Structure 1
Amino acid sequence: MSESPAPAPSPGTSRSTSATIPPNILRCLTPVTDGYGVDLRPELSRVGLDEEMMGSAALRVSYRQGSAVIRRALELTGDPHLGLRVGAAQHLTSWGLLGFAQMAAETLREAIETGVRFQNLSGAMVVWSAGQEEAGYVLRAELPDPALDPAVAVFLAEEAFASVVALTRLSSGEEFAPQSVEFAFPAPRDMGPFTDLFRCPVRFGAAENRLVFPTAWAGRPMPGRDRVTYTGVVELLAEQVASRRDQQDLLEGLEISIAQSLPDVPSFVEQARRHASSERTLRRRLAECGTTYEAVVDGVRRERVEQLLRRPALTLRDIARQAGFSDVRAMRRAVHRWHGVTPARLREEGTDQ
């Protein structure tokens, strides 16, 4: 039976700004880009992340933050297949308790299905699903936003399947090779990195991103299998999922409230009242989400500005007013902080795409 995938965020919804993703991909990305002589710290700082924050196990980032850093890493390294390198460099220990549960699973199939079940704790930026089909045991990676930057979309698909293959080889045997791999993006000029890594037929321009495991491998026992340990860790993961769901509900509720109120922004006191909470409790809950009310407001304003800049009939003054800025200068400073360019330039870049 197929695992039910976690619901994918819809394009343009508040989940694109919610800080709910463990930054595992960004943590794996940094040492890989170091090998290119690229320092990602300024890019992390640009999206509000510093070294101290990146070292915190409690840190969560938004889909927008992750995409922005990945986009810049691709530009700075000039490597169109950076996703393959990042995926191949991963270890199960990078996934924390989830990786430990997978190592203790009975079979490779159970390890995979545990990863799918708790994917929201893994730092995944794709939506996973898995199940037995006629072709074999199939793992799918769906991009949650069809409007995603094409280069970032390729990175995420490559990283997803490269990490699966790398982790399977580390845990179950270096000789592992998928039965086949399919990518939804067009074929690259150089197929070498794909054939070298996957050691199986690779098809491009497919209807979906799909990796097929040989059935015999799916049932292969995990070397570290331990039923008692697995059961105990899965219970802890289930508790984390319940807590994360509460956090996500809080962030989405705040973002919707702010978006519906623009150009006015509800005060923090008003938000605490709406959530039947004291100001102190609400601040604590936001801290547990790894954010602040000011950061949530900033994220909603950013999304609103980006949406309005796509409407050529609106002047910059109109956009600043509708997004809740005091004037165009304030909006210009914010846009430069977010993107490193002026609103006019950002509008031109959006038109050129």
Structure 2
Amino acid sequence: MTPSDAVIPPTLLSAVVAIGRQAGLSVSAWFSGTGLAPVLLDDADVRVSLDQARTVLRRAVAALPDRPLGLEVGARDALLSFGFVGVAMRTSATVGDAFRVIDELHRASGSLADFIAEGVGGDEIELYLRERWPDPALLPFLAEEAFASITAFLRSVLGETWAPNRIFLSYRSPAHAARYQRFFRCPVHFGADADRFVISSDVLRSPIPTHHEPTLRTALAVCRSLIAPTRIRPGVVAAVEALVNAHLHRPLSMTEIAEEMHISERTLRRQLAEAGDNFGAIRDRVRERHATALLRRSTLAISAVAAEVGFRDGREFRRAYRRWTGRTPLAVRTSGDGYPATEGYPATGT
């Protein structure tokens, strides 16, 4: 995978955008030229690329220079910070089990950095933060968010008085360093040789009162599906797919899509060509995917399915669907498995 592949859930971006809006900032400017738009972040199927995420986060950090933005994001409840990973953590049997969930599945939470645990078996455990693609401008945000998220989770299990033993950060002390002390309530050392979070190893044996095995199994399955490399797409392709999907009732033109993405139509066309795709093909496959799902899983009349995917004329939809799939909508509706039950279905089903 490369930094341009759209594989990251936009959890972090959603949280940062919410904070920016609360501060009265024009967050749309953060997305200019990225091929993303704030409205896309609420779509559960949307994935962003590392390049897109880093660009938006750099702009957010620059727009809020006096705030510990990562600390504010990470200090929220684990279910907000980690998403389905947080559900898996909160329903694990022990803190050690929850940490194993983080180790395996943290990317499903939209994280942009990784953890390496050392010292397991001794009196203390050190969690090292590793950026996937080093970016000095973002390191403070990433470290704040990661360490604050773990602290907030452990306090939800062990009580609000819990604190890590020590924290080491490789960057210089920021203007808001006092906020670190107030939140973490432990020694925080800046200018260290690595970014690490030190806790007592006996924490791992602590039971989690919200443990629930059926919910844990479900959450783990969802998290694994979120990071499964089934359909890796360049970020610009994923963004166009999401915008087309969000406006199926009133299809947007390529010009309107480009405006939503804060780029010119010419730039969008070029970026799609570089990704080996084009707008018409993306629009067709999003429409086909949604139409097929409705034909298989709903009782909507075929004319209503046509309207759901942006066709005013049912005959035009049937022609398009047959061009996309080689089958008629009625054949897909009748077969139950997406394949014609018999040959010779007419192209005029309603």
Report the residue type matching 2:144 in the other structure. E
Give distance in 1, aligned partners of 2:276 and 2:177: 54
Q: Which residue of 2 aligns with 1:16?
A: 3
Give distance in 1, aligned partners of 2:275 and 2:79: 42
* Shift of residue 129, structure 1, vs aligned partner: 2.5
Q: Which residue of 1 aligns with 2:324?
A: none
Give distance in 2, aligned partners of 1:72 and 1:221: 40
Give distance in 1, aligned partners of 2:190 and 2:121: 20
1:134 to 119, 122, 127: 122
Q: Which runs of 5+ in 2 are unaligned?
A: 238-270, 291-350
Matched, 1:86 2:73: yes
Q: Flag the 1:134–1:52 CA change in 2: closer, same or farther, 3 A.
A: same
Matches within 5 A, 1:19-38: 19-38=6-25
* Shift of residue 115, structure 1, vs aligned partner: 1.6
Q: Flag the 1:33–1:239 CA change in 2: closer, same or farther, 3 A.
A: closer
Give distance in 2, aligned partners of 1:36 and 1:66: 20
* Shift of residue 167, structure 1, vs aligned partner: 2.4
Give distance in 2, aligned partners of 1:186 and 1:196: 18
Matches within 5 A, 1:204-223: 204-223=190-209
2:87 to 100, 118, 139: 100
Q: Name the count of aligned residue pairs.
A: 251
Give distance in 2, aligned partners of 1:251 and 1:67: 15
Q: Flag the 1:104–1:123 CA change in 2: closer, same or farther, 3 A.
A: same
Q: Which residue of 1 aligns with 2:140?
A: 154
Q: Which moved further from structure 2: 198-207 or 33-42? A: 33-42
* Shift of residue 121, structure 1, vs aligned partner: 0.7
Cα deviations by residue, 1:169-220 (Å, 9 ceiling, x for unpaired): 2343211100111112123355311111111111122222111122232221
In structure 1, the residue corresponding to 2:231 is in which secondary structure? helix
Matches within 5 A, 1:3-82: 15-79=2-66, 81-82=68-69
Q: Is the 8 A contact 1:138 1:213 kept in 2?
A: yes
Q: Flag the 1:280–1:198 CA change in 2: closer, same or farther, 3 A.
A: closer
* Shift of residue 35, structure 1, vs aligned partner: 3.6
Q: Which residue of 1 aligns with 2:231?
A: 247
In structure 1, the residue corresponding to 2:110 is in which secondary structure? coil
Q: Is the 8 A contact 1:93 1:100 kept in 2?
A: no
Matched, 1:111 2:95: no
Q: What's the TM-score, normalizing by structure 2? A: 0.63
Matches within 5 A, 1:115-126: 115-126=102-113
Q: Is the 8 A contact 2:31 2:37 kept in 1?
A: yes
Give distance in 2, aligned partners of 1:27 and 1:186: 27
Q: Is the 8 A contact 1:108 1:220 kept in 2?
A: yes
Give distance in 2, aligned partners of 1:120 and 1:88: 18
Q: Is the 8 A contact 2:68 2:176 kept in 1?
A: no
* Shift of residue 135, structure 1, vs aligned partner: 5.0
Give distance in 2, aligned partners of 1:165 and 1:178: 7
Q: Is the 8 A contact 2:126 2:198 kept in 1?
A: yes
Q: Flag the 1:91–1:45 CA change in 2: closer, same or farther, 3 A.
A: farther
* Shift of residue 80, structure 1, vs aligned partner: 5.5
Q: Flag the 1:205–1:251 CA change in 2: closer, same or farther, 3 A.
A: same
Q: What's the TM-score, normalizing by structure 1? A: 0.63
Larger Rg: 2
Q: Which runs of 5+ in 1 are unaligned?
A: 1-13, 255-261, 270-278, 289-353
* Shift of residue 282, structure 1, vs aligned partner: 11
Give distance in 2, aligned partners of 1:215 and 1:185: 26
* Shift of residue 130, structure 1, vs aligned partner: 2.6
Matched, 1:179 2:146: no
Give distance in 2, aligned partners of 1:92 and 1:209: 24
Q: Is the 8 A contact 1:137 1:218 kept in 2?
A: no
Q: Which residue of 2 aligns with 1:144?
A: 132
Q: Which residue of 2 aligns with 1:233?
A: 219
Q: Which moved further from structure 2: 65-74 or 168-177? A: 168-177
Give distance in 1, aligned partners of 2:275 and 2:109: 33
Q: Flag the 1:190–1:241 CA change in 2: closer, same or farther, 3 A.
A: closer
Cα deviations by residue, 1:23-47 (Å, 9 ceiling, x for unpaired): 1111111222234322313323542
Q: Is the 8 A contact 2:84 2:109 kept in 1?
A: no
* Shift of residue 227, structure 1, vs aligned partner: 2.4
Give distance in 1, aligned partners of 2:213 and 2:274: 51
Q: Flag the 1:267–1:53 CA change in 2: closer, same or farther, 3 A.
A: closer
Q: Which residue of 1 aligns with 2:174?
A: 188
Q: Flag the 1:46–1:137 CA change in 2: closer, same or farther, 3 A.
A: same
Give distance in 2, aligned partners of 1:71 and 1:280: 29
Q: Which residue of 2 aligns with 1:272?
A: none
